Amino acid sequence: MHLMYRNGKIVMSTKKLSGKVTLVTGASRGLGKEIAIHLAIAGATVIINYKSNAASAEELVDHIKKMGGNAVALQADVSLEADVNEMFSKIFKDLGYVDILVNNAGINPTFSLEDITFSDFQNCVNINLNSAFLTSQAVIPHMKKQKYGRIINISSIAAQTGGVIGPHYAASKAAMIGLTHSYAKLLAESGVTVNAVAPALIETDMIKDNPSITPDLIPVKRFGQPDEVASVVLLLVDNGYITGQTFNVNGGWYMS
């Protein structure tokens, strides 16, 4: 057991993930940020991927280091193949290989139904879905070779219910679950697990900036907290017998 410090408080760490390299996409804020912190507390070296918010990414790196963890920030638009290739070239050169991948990067633009264009649809799919494919393809060869790997895709309740944002978002998140199933089946004998987490209305900037979204939509009558999603990600990293599953973190909104 090790001691780390977060926000001036002592945090207990088992360092279970010591020696593991983790990539969290879209990690400069929101869910990605909390997931990165939890992985760092567990002992992993965490790569903080960001698209444009360098200041927030570097601030998170500093926060993790002050806690006693290890982290580095890497810029890349993970919806672009060239950016992903360049990012992984840097990772392979400086850090080795990625043992744990959390595909968290995503957008949830809101439009009225009639105003959604094909370009809007494509953009949502590119960022929410294509990024997960590109990064997964990059990490899988080494994961198979070492017979260990964890891929966790952050989907959404919109994949199961249609959600409140629109078809562009729901389709992109539903496709992530299909991607999860296929990879899990193909990699099952390789020691690589692939799972999805489907949150609903987690209290991040995305929720706070949308006054039309209220806790009244949720049976438990409150927003979820980022750490309630991050703890599920840690569970899936720790467990090698769970694969091909979607874990719902939604306050009872969708029950399966």
Q: Which residues are catalytic?
A: 169
What residue ranges in the chain does DSSP mark as E strands?
2-6, 9-13, 21-24, 45-50, 70-75, 100-103, 149-154, 192-199, 246-249
Reading the block at residue 226, the tokens are 């980022």
Amino acid at 93: K
In Å, how far from its chain's centre is CA 55?
A: 20
Residue 32's SS3 state is helix
Alpha-carbon distances of 225 from 34, 42, 44, 202, 203, rounded to whole Å: 10, 19, 22, 5, 6
The torsion angle over the Cα atoms of residues 6, 9, 12 and 16, rounded to 10 degrees, is 0
Whole-angstrom distance, CA of residue 26 vs CA of residue 18: 22
Compute the C-alpha angle 123/124/125, nearest 5°. Answer: 90
